[in-house]
């Protein structure tokens, strides 16, 4: 985290740290919106996969709806990984 703060708050980085996500999408001249959204999806999937890996028991014991609903929420890939852990 400290390394991230060092890079993003450096005056040489010239990054608007108070920008909203939509402002970053519009004003980023180095990446396309398609790539930014794809990377955001990858990040979200990785975070969810990590969460499921370490907290699969808690998810399984507290999710009261049907497994079909959980599969819909997680998506096929994450749901398959979740089922493999149980």
- DSSP state string for 2-63: HHHHHHHT-GGG---TT--HHHHHHH-SSS-HHHHHHHHHHHHHHHHHHHHHHHHHHHHHH-
Each residue's pLDDT tens digit in the chain (86 positions)? 556 665 556 666 666 667 777 776 677 666 677 787 888 889 998 999 999 999 999 998 998 888 899 899 889 999 999 999 97
Q: Which among 48, 51, 85, 82 has a CA at the least distance from the CA of 67?
A: 82
Cα R_g (the chain), whole angstroms: 18
């Amino acid at each position: 985290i400290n390394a991230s703060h060092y890079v993003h708050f450096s005056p040489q980085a010239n990054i608007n740290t108070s920008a909203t996500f939509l402002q970053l999408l519009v004003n980023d001249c180095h990446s396309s919106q398609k790539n930014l959204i794809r990377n955001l999806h990858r990040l979200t999937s990785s975070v969810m996969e990590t969460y499921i890996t370490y907290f699969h028991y808690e998810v399984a014991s507290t999710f009261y709806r049907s497994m079909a609903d959980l599969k819909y929420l997680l998506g096929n890939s994450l749901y398959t990984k979740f089922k493999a852990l149980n």
